[in-house]
């Protein structure tokens, strides 16, 4: 059966997306014909990295109204493949235009089965069925669930129940039980990127790679648990096999971008992998970068080995310079632990990137001051800091259990970013003021400030040529 997996607009086309590529390889192994299509690379939007802009409904509506012919073209291309199932990767920046394309497809062929999956699908779940063009929502890990849906539709033409999915059948919503996650993820086929043209992405010679799924921590501000309930690591041998494959497929490859919540969750596996990479001289000068946890078992010896294996940047979710706030966030390290890891990482020759949250529930003015002081005294060991991130509660433990954090939530869900503490001291205005003060402090100490979306701006400012059609 034909299945189309769409990465809809607008999503920052920084590098290829591993999620749909994993689904493609899994479904194809079971005998289905699958095509992935990242619309963003064929029709690049100049400000695709501006998440705030593309979460505003009015901006999405204006984009559609100005590009109706383009949307018809996209729908026609999907129709030409004639898939029985069309799956959309749902992020907060892609939801509005995904729904528009799905509606156009449904109007042309009401029997075509429309599935939404990905981060936002796991977060919103049943609420997405307010939109009649959606037939199913896959929650959490998608491989086994989407395969079961595909097999049922191929055999019976319809499906009324499936673990891991919420399904609409004849107007009735069926909510399936939670599906157990795949424990031995070495058995999952490597992602198939054959439908993606890596030359159309901002980082043409970067390849995404996954070391594991889920997160071993449960930080109270994080939404990872919405998609992955448990942490599972690949083996070093399995990862090494994929690295060799990618180097054969992409001779110009220069960097593996590790797409995990943290690449160093399994330190033993990481050490083993570094040994293997170092021993294979033919790997050349390929490098690695990714998000990382502050961990006490990340000692100077391991970091030195990581540097020799090609690790050049670790992006730590530091989040606060206050030990009191770190405990509220459920972080498992002290300020002194963090300073040691940061300095050891720097001294090993690996770039240090730090992220901070501004305005966490219970954070005081003194806590905020401690964060600025932390950055100041470690200035020389930090390569760059991301812009201050206002504390968001959507999909987090804070949102699910606001009383535990003394938080008052707005009645209307679309306004959750206006949450306050019950005493009213921590509110949106305060958080935005602190964010501005945070960014001003970074400028004052001449700290480089950068996040992923800045890559597009830097390339544009440099006058880089692109083969993409700018809308």
The pairing of strands 255-258 and 232-233 is unpaired
**Burial tier of 454 (Cβ tally within 10 Å: 0-12, 13-18, 19+):** middle
Stretch 338-366: mean pLDDT, rounded? Answer: 98
pLDDT at 399: 93
* Confidence band of 470 (pLDDT split at 50, 70, 90): very low
Residue 464 reports pLDDT greater than 80: no
Residue carrying the six token digits 């599972």: 232
Report if pTM > 0.85: yes
* Residue 178 to residue 428: CA distance in whole angstroms: 35
Q: What are the strands of the beta sheet with 2-7, ordered from one edge?
A: 33-38, 2-7, 85-89, 113-117, 136-138, 165-169, 172-175
Rg (CA), the chain: 23
Across the range 413-418, mean pLDDT stands at: 87
Question: Taking residues 451-463, what's their average pLDDT?
Answer: 55
Q: What is the largest CA-CA distance in the chain?
A: 65
Residue 458 has pLDDT above 60, yes or no: no
Task: State the Cα–Cα distance between residues 153 and 10, nearest whole angstrom.
Answer: 29
Contacts of 170 (CB under 8 A, 6+ apart): none
| CA 136 – CA 174 distance, rounded (Å) | 9
Q: What does the pLDDT average to over 148-167?
A: 94
| Mean pLDDT to the nearest integer, 393-399 | 93
Q: Give per-residue pLDDT as tens, 224-249.
A: 988 889 999 999 999 999 999 999 99
**Token pair of 204 as six digits:** 């043409």
50/57 Cα distance (integer angstroms): 14
Q: What is the mean predicted confidence (pLDDT) over 380-387? A: 96
Tell me: pLDDT of 331 over 90: yes
pLDDT at 409: 96
pLDDT at residue 43, rounded to an integer: 81
Tens digits of per-residue pLDDT, 265-292?
A: 999 999 999 999 999 877 778 899 999 9
- Percent of the chain surpassing pLDDT 90: 84
pLDDT surpasses 60 at 314: yes
Residue 284 has a pLDDT of: 76
Please count the CA atoms within 13 angstroms of the CA of 411 that sit on its side-chain side. 0
pLDDT for the residue 456: 56
Q: What is the mean pLDDT of the chain?
A: 93
pLDDT value, residue 455:
59
State residue 467's pLDDT score.
35
- Per DSSP, 354 falls in state E
**pLDDT tops 60 at residue 66:** yes
Locate all alpha helices (DSSP H) within 161-257, ordered by sequence: 224-227, 236-249
pLDDT score at 328: 97
Report which secondary-structure segment, H or E, holds 168.
strand 165-169
Residue at token pair 């669930």? 145
pLDDT, residue 413, reads: 80
3-28 pLDDT, tens digit each: 999 999 999 888 999 999 999 999 99
Place of tokens 């289905």: 32
**What pLDDT does residue 468 have?**
37
pLDDT of residue 462: 45
Does the pLDDT of residue 374 top 70, yes or no?
Answer: yes
Which one, of 158, 145, 380, lies nearest residue 137 by Cα? 145
Of the pLDDT bands very low, low, confident and very high (cuts 50, 70, 90), residue 91 is: very high
Cβ–Cβ under 8 Å, residues 93 and 59: no
Cβ neighbours around 251 below 10 Å, total: 8
Buried b (16+ CB within 10 A) or exposed e, 270-295: bbbbbeebeeeeebeebebbbbbbbb
Residue with tokens 């992020």: 91
Model confidence pLDDT, tens digit, residues 26-61: 999 999 999 999 999 988 788 888 888 998 999 999
Nearest to 134 by CA among 176, 61, 85, 79: 85
pLDDT over 50 at 469, yes or no: no
Question: Residue 264: which of 311, 322, 333 has the closest Cα?
Answer: 311
**Residues 120/209, Cβ–Cβ less than 8 Å:** no
């Amino acid at each position: 059966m034909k299945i189309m997996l769409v990465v809809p607009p607008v999503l920052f086309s920084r590098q290829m997306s591993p999620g749909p590529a994993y689904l493609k390889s899994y479904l194809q192994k079971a005998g289905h014909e699958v095509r992935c299509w990242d619309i963003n690379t064929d029709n690049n939007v100049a400000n695709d990295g501006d998440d705030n802009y593309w979460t505003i409904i009015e901006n999405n509506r204006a984009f559609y109204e100005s590009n109706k012919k383009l949307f018809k073209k996209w729908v026609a291309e999907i129709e030409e493949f004639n898939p029985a199932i069309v799956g959309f990767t749902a992020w907060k920046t892609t939801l509005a235009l995904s729904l528009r394309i799905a509606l156009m497809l449904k109007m042309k062929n009401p029997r075509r089965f429309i599935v939404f999956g990905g981060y936002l699908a796991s977060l919103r779940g049943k609420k997405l069925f307010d939109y009649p063009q959606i037939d199913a929502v896959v929650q959490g890990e998608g491989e086994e669930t989407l395969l079961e849906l595909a097999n049922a539709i191929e055999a019976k033409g319809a499906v009324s129940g499936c673990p891991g999915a919420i399904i609409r059948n004849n107007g009735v919503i069926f909510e399936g039980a939670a599906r157990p996650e795949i424990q031995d993820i070495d058995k999952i086929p490597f992602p198939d990127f054959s439908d993606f043209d890596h030359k159309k992405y901002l980082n043409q010679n970067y390849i995404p790679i996954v070391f594991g799924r889920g997160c071993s921590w449960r930080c109270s501000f994080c939404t990872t648990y919405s998609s992955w309930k448990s942490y599972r690591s690949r083996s070093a041998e399995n990862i090494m096999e994929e690295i060799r494959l990618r180097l054969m497929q992409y001779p110009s490859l220069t960097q593996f971008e590790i797409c995990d919540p943290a690449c160093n969750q399994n330190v033993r596996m990481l050490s083993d992998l570094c040994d293997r990479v170092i021993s294979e001289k033919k790997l050349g000068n390929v490098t690695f970068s990714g998000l990382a946890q502050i961990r006490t078992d990340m000692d100077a010896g391991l970091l030195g080995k990581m540097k020799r294996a090609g690790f050049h940047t670790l992006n730590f979710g530091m989040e606060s310079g206050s030990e009191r706030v770190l405990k509220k966030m459920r972080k498992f390290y002290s300020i002194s632990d963090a300073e040691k890891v940061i300095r050891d990482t720097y001294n090993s020759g690996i770039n240090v990137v730090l992220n901070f949250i501004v305005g966490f529930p219970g954070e005081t003015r003194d806590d905020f001051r401690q964060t600025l002081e932390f950055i100041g005294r470690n200035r020389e060991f930090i390569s760059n800091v991301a812009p201050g991130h206002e504390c968001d509660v959507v999909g987090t433990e804070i949102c699910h259990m606001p009383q535990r954090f003394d938080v008052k939530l707005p009645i209307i869900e679309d306004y959750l970013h206006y949450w306050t503490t019950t005493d009213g001291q921590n509110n949106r205005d305060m958080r935005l003021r602190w964010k501005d003060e945070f960014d001003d402090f970074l400028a004052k100490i001449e700290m480089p400030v950068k996040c992923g979306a800045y890559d597009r701006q830097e390339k544009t400012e440099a006058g880089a040529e692109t083969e993409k059609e700018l809308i």
